[in-house]
Structure 1
């Protein structure tokens, strides 16, 4: 008597590519947390904005002492915003590679996004430290921490954010992955972001920071929704 035949092996289905989280949603979350880090402390402190490190030192120290909790809250929210920004950079870089981009743009986007995320995280943590009552008992260290929080959250964050935008916009333009107007707008914003490094040398150039920052975040949202998941064969050819 012969042994029963083994059941046939299940048919293999083609492996579906893993697209990861939606970059557009990640950009919205990162932008929302960043804006919350600005607006929530402003509301909690009765409209008293985060002081400039180039203003009166005594006034800045008085602000941090009076509004310690809002300062800590803003720092924590900005630290939280750095996480989806890093995931966005990794997701978009992987998608560009999957779309056949072998030029350095995808790697530049990843490097710029990770550096921008790290600078934003550092700025948030430094702001959180500025809201600690024990630290405020040592007025001599407050100006240095204040400047570091400004530098890392300003040019330290915006300049690599421009690299993230450029790393997406250049292949988006050359390979036709993004609408041309959006790609060119990204290149302009990236150039402004890189020029904002000179705000460290001339305070008059500080307006470049909010323009490049908020323009760049809005651009990342748009690119996250418009960047395709697959590349048509005709385009690849």
Structure 2
């Protein structure tokens, strides 16, 4: 009997029936981007940096109730889509990568939901009277939706890049690993403010990467 020829490399498994992965990727990206743009349009200022003055942060949450609620709602929708996307990517990857994609995607979605909910709490009338509490909630929203959420998203992207194997061109797999490194390096913003510039690069770069990867999977 002739043995079957061995295969080399990792090949993505066919995705199960359901929404195409690219639809889930867009359902993750579009509401998130809309939350940032929409809150900026209806608010009187952009969402404050965690490194801003206490007075500026309290002023923003006191005067932008609707903007924060809109942002929280859309980011919750985005997080649900991210969780579903992680499951679909894990199905396609298989093996150890699948477990890491599912875990990291679940953690990223949970952190982003927590960030959105904390923002919603920060604009409650009962909270507005306590300035230090508003500041603490803002910092928590940043930590969960920023460094923690972005780092987990980066791990999910890196695991996806490794798990999909030949389904992606080599440069795309390399880009996924670079985004993983940038997402992990963004944690340095907890110790050094200048490192915060890595957060939007890893977040929005990762979103573009996920759209590209899921388009390739769909094709």
The TM-score normalised by the length of structure 2 is 0.89
1:124-177 Cα offsets, whole Å, 9 max, x none, are 11111112222112223111101000000101110010111011101334xx12
Aligned length: 206
Match of 2:160 in 1: 168
Aligned mates of 1:210, 1:87 — CA distance in 2: 23
The answer to which structure has the higher helix fraction is 2
Q: Partner residue of 2:200?
A: 210
* Distance (Å, rounded) in 2 between the aligned partners of 1:226 and 1:80: 24
Partner of 2:135: 143
1:176-215 matched pairs, under 5 angstroms: 176-215=166-205
Question: Does the aligned pair in 1 maintain the 2:22–2:218 contact within 8 Å?
Answer: no
> CA separation in 1, counterparts of 2:16 and 2:69?
38
* CA distance in structure 2 between the partners assigned to 1:126 and 1:64 by the alignment: 12
Cα drift, residue 20 of structure 1: 2.6
Give 1:43's aligned residue. Answer: 41
Structure label with greater radius of gyration: 1
Which residue in the other structure is 2:109 paired with?
117
Shift of 1:228: 6.2
1:42 deviation in Å?
A: 0.6
- Check conservation: 2:86, 2:106, Cα contact below 8 A: yes
Deviation at 1:185, TM superposition (A): 1.0
Mapped pair 1:133 → 2:125: yes
CA contact (8 A) 1:89 1:164 kept: yes
Q: Conserved in 1, the CA contact under 8 Å of 2:80 and 2:109?
A: yes
* Structure 2: gaps (5+ residues): 1-14
Q: Which residue of 1 aligns with 2:75?
A: 78
SS of match in other structure, 1:53 = coil
* DSSP 3-state at the match of 2:67: helix
Structure 1 stretch displaced more, 80-89 or 181-190: 181-190
- The residue number in structure 2 matching 1:90 is 87
**Residue number in structure 1 paired with 2:32:** 34
| 1:221 corresponds to which of 205, 211, 214 | 211
Q: Secondary structure at the match of 2:130?
A: coil
Coordinate RMSD, CA, aligned:
1.7
The TM-score, its normalising length taken from structure 1, stands at 0.83
